[in-house]
Every structure is written in structure tokens, then in C-alpha cells.
Amino acid sequence: MSFLPFARPTIDEAMIAAVADTLRSRWIVTGPRVAAFEKALSERFGGRPVRALTSATAAMQVALELLGIGPGDEVIIPAQSFFVTGNVVERSGATAVFVDVDLGSRNIDLAQAAAAVTAKTRLLFPTHYNAPLDPDVLDAFARRHKLRILEDAALAIGSRTPRGPVGATGDIVSFSFHPNKNMTTIEGGALALNDEREAAIVDELRFHGIKRLPDGTRDVERAGVKYNFSDVSARLGLAQLAHLEDWCRARARLAQRYFECLAGDDLLVPERLPPRDNPGHSWNMFTVLLPLQALRSTRKAFMDAMHKEGIGTGVSYEAIHLTTLFRNKGFREGMFPASERIARETVTLPLFPEMRETDVERVCESMKRVMRRKAA
Ligand SMILES: *Cc1c(COP(=O)(O)O)cnc(C)c1O
């Protein structure tokens, strides 16, 4: 039986041909296909300006610069997310203020976020994780505390709320097109922005800070970076975007199959699974919390045993405040219990659109077998 990875992008022959055509055209760097990709994303997001960049990490870094976040500012982030949120805040010179997440949705606990607001707080920087963030609640939070919001929607292209697709609402929203996400451009990211003024600043920042002058020369006002997107990636992105809805439906179906196969398991009780009733979620990942005490084993041993069964698993994520970077600033175990418990027990099971329901069944059977062996 072939090895089942925990994530895999869908790439068909039409996409390969479209990319090959782009290469043959010799226009491979930023050009008409980047403009078309940004326009297609903008249409998805209700017409707001969108800019594509080389990664979500680049996009978030540029967004913080656009917002003028720097030394003396505080940015509220969840302790349970990918390292990048902590990293980009740290690199901006601002102070990362951590708050805990909800154990099931894994989204930021906004009551704790409200309590963490000080006179120095400039930005709330939450991640769409195991469920879409509620845009009405975010809007109200921003108004009440007079804060900007940068949504990390790396996992949430294709997610929906009652007010439309994630990216169509809110302040600034950042996306990733890494191969493990719901659609890919190999590497890539995008920002959904509020207006043309913000988009013009991103245009400048992502390409050396260059401004074109009427006399045909160029000027630099802000020290820019080199995060502009390529036409080759954009062409792949356009072809991928056309399948996004279908792929998210396939993900949702496979997630439901996981719930069915795991129902009634005495080790993986529902509290250890993601929220099942989860409207609008694009199911980038299916994460479970392992009952390590009952298993009298480690996550590493579980993952190794699954690997032997031909099944790949992942860890999403470690707790950001417990990295050496933030331990060196005084953060310790016990500060954010839900984030730390997720970091200890979480494992990500295979989930990608080309999987079949029989693959899900195979994962569940292997998992039950591995757990029984340990718990015995
Ligand atoms: C993947 C991911 C990122 C980073 O995206 P890149 O495009 O690889 O920079 C950021 N945040 C979350 C939650 C992610 O899953």
C-alpha cells in the first residue's frame, strides 16, 4: 500500500500545461498573470484590493510595516499558532502579547485578548484555525478597543462565514499558498486590503520601495523588500483557484468520514476531536488530541508507529511562547494551558482532496490499532 502523506497538493495536467505555457511565453516574473490572479482573488473577496507576495510570512511582515507597527507597540497574538506570527511581530520591533486559545476551535480567546489590551496595544493578530473567526465579533472588538486587526488566514482560503468568504470581511487579511494549504502557488501569499492607498504602499514595499517618477527615473522613500510574486506562480494560482470550492467540499466530506469512523471510540472521545458542527470551515487540517496518559506513551512513538503503517502525520503547532525565542523573554509553562495542551497532544491526520473515504478508514483503523497496542 502506498504511503499516505498528511497533506498533498492537487496538481492536474491542465495546471502543468498552463504553467508550461507561461514558461514558454518568456514572461515569467511579475506581469499580467499576477494582475489576473490578484483580480480573481479580489472578486472572491467582494472587490477589495488584493496583493500577492512570495509567502504569507512576507505578506504579514509587509502588513505590519504598512500599519506602522514597531518599537513601543504591543500586538496581541494567540500562543497556539504557527511560529510566523511571533516571528514577524518580533522582527517589527513590537512586543508580542500572548493570549490563550479555545481548546476546540483553537481560535484566540477574545475575552482574554480584551483583558490584555493596554494603551500601547495597536493590533490584534488572530489565526483562523479549527473554525472560521466570526467577523462580527472581530469588528466589534476592533471598534471597542480602537485597534487594527490582521487576520492570519493561511489555513482559511475557502472558509466562509455567514457574511461571505474569509477575506471579504474584516480589516487586513493574510493568506498562504504553501503546498499544504487549501490551494497552492508552490510558495505564495496574499493580502486582502482596505483601499487603494494601502495597496499602493504594499506595491512599493514588496518591490524595493520603488516609486516611479514622471521623468522616467525612480525614487525610494521607504526601505522596501523583494517579495513580488511571479507570473509562473500566479498562473498556477489561477488554475488552482478554479477548483477551490470543490476541494473544500471534498475536505469537508472526508472530515465527516473521520467523525463517523471515530464515533464511539473510548480513547478519542469527541472532546479530543475538532468541532464537528463547524459551518463554513474549509478543513485544511483534521487535528486530534492524543490521550497520551491512557496510552502511557509519547506522541513521537505514536507518529513513528503510524509512519510504519504507511501513514504520515504532522504537529500543528508547538506553543509559540515556549520557543527558546520567547522563553528567553520570560515565558514559561503554565501561562497558556490550552495552547500548551494542544502543543503536547495534537497530531494532524492525513486530509487532502484526492484522498478517498477508504483512505480515511485506513487511517482510523491504523490509529485504533496503534493506540490499542499502546494502551494494552
Ligand atoms: C502556513 C502558515 C503560515 C505561513 O505561510 P507561508 O506562506 O509558508 O509563509 C502562517 N500561519 C499559519 C497559521 C500557517 O499555517
Kindly state if the Cβ of 80 falls inside 6 Å of ligand 1.
no
pLDDT at 1 over 90: no
Give whole-number Cα distances, 210 to 172, 216, 298, in Å: 23, 12, 52
Kindly state if the Cβ of 113 falls inside 6 Å of ligand 1.
no
pLDDT computed for residue 261 by the predictor: 98
Q: Is 181 a catalytic residue?
A: yes
pLDDT band at 164 (very low <50, low <70, confident <90, very high): very high
Atom of ligand 1 nearest to the CA of 176: 7
Of 6, 61, 101, 152, which is best to mutate to test ligand 1, by the most ligand atoms within 8 angstroms of its C-beta?
A: 152
pLDDT computed for residue 374 by the predictor: 72
pLDDT computed for residue 376 by the predictor: 60
The predicted-structure confidence for 40-58, as pLDDT tens digits, reads as follows 999 999 999 999 999 999 9
The predicted-structure confidence for 275-304, as pLDDT tens digits, reads as follows 999 999 999 999 999 999 999 999 999 999
The predicted-structure confidence for 171-188, as pLDDT tens digits, reads as follows 999 999 999 999 999 999
The predicted-structure confidence for 95-135, as pLDDT tens digits, reads as follows 999 999 999 999 999 999 999 999 999 999 999 999 999 99
Query: For the chain, what percentages of helix, strand and coil (3-state, to nearest 5) are there?
Result: 40, 15, 40
Beta strands in the chain (DSSP E): 50-53, 74-78, 95-99, 121-124, 148-152, 160-161, 164-165, 172-176, 189-192, 210-212, 218-220, 286-289, 346-349
**Region 3-23 average pLDDT:** 98
Atom 2 of ligand 1: nearest residue by CA position = 154
Atom 14 of ligand 1: nearest residue by CA position = 154
Q: Dihedral angle at the C-alpha atoms of 256, 258, 261, 267, nearest 10 degrees?
A: -130
Kindly state if the Cβ of 339 falls inside 6 Å of ligand 1.
no
Buried b (16+ CB within 10 A) or exposed e, 59-96: bbbbbbbbbebeeebbbbbbbbbbebbbbbbeebebbb
The predicted-structure confidence for 234-250, as pLDDT tens digits, reads as follows 999 999 999 999 999 99
pLDDT computed for residue 57 by the predictor: 98
pLDDT computed for residue 375 by the predictor: 66
Kindly state if the Cβ of 42 falls inside 6 Å of ligand 1.
no
At 120, list the grid cell: 500601547
pLDDT band at 371 (very low <50, low <70, confident <90, very high): very high
pLDDT computed for residue 326 by the predictor: 98
Place of cell 525610494: 220
pTM of the full predicted structure?
A: 0.98
The predicted-structure confidence for 174-227, as pLDDT tens digits, reads as follows 999 999 999 999 999 999 999 999 999 999 999 999 999 999 999 999 999 999
The predicted-structure confidence for 344-368, as pLDDT tens digits, reads as follows 999 999 999 999 999 999 999 999 9
Catalytic-labelled residue, pool 39, 181, 300, 368? 181
Of 54, 57, 108, which is best to mutate to test ligand 1, by the most ligand atoms within 8 angstroms of its C-beta?
A: 57
